[in-house]
Structure 1
């Protein structure tokens, strides 16, 4: 159950980070309204705050979070950008999630 809760928190954290970066990308690359900078900053603040909710040390949290970030970014690629995933994308996401689980579920001494 702990892994499920941590994974959900990591997933929400990843969506916040992606939105905080994707909105400026829309402004800079697709000439969308500069008003998108405002929610982008909000999402990046939310992202930083969400990272503080994890129980592990910051470095361990950031390392494990990377696995979920990779997975959510690939899902974003598919669902938002409409780019199909390859079997290599899926394999990489599964490896990244296995790494995340390994880091987060290690025995506490």
Structure 2
């Protein structure tokens, strides 16, 4: 369970970075050279998703819970926005959903 969760967090970071860099280029007039590491990051995201032993739909469903948590942590750490109690509660619910889905992978 811990290995899967850490893999999901790495996957989420790869996806967020892969989307954040083009956002910097488009919205903040960053360098077009940001697109190359963005593409590499998104390719890494796809590859990381393939490392899970479950069917793709279950992986995507469980990954969504970790993505919510990671995106909110990104909002706090990178964007400097304070999270509300609703953010923390929602992230907790999403993360618990991921744990439930992963716990059932071998039982379906």
Output one character per residue of 1:62-88: Cα deviation in whole Å (capped at 9) or x when no partner: 000000000000000000000000000
Task: Tell me the distance in 2 between the aligned counterparts of 1:41 and 1:92.
Answer: 30
Matched with 2:50 is 52
| Helix, strand or coil at the partner of 1:56 | coil
Corresponding residue for residue 62 of structure 1: 60
1:105 equivalent among 99, 103, 107 = 103
Taking structure 1 as the reference length, the TM-score comes to 0.96
Distance in 2 (alpha carbons) for counterparts of 1:6 and 1:86: 27
Q: CA deviation at 1:20?
A: 0.3
For structure 1, the residue ranges without an aligned partner over 5 or more in a row are none
Question: How many pairs were matched up?
Answer: 107
Residue aligning to 1:88: 86
2-structure distance, mates of 1:30, 1:85: 23
Q: Which residue of 2 is the match for residue 29 of structure 1? A: 27
State which of 63, 76, 79 in structure 2 corresponds to 1:78: 76
Q: Please list every run of at least 4 consecutive aligned residues from structure 1 whose deviation after the TM superposition is greater than 3 angstroms.
A: none
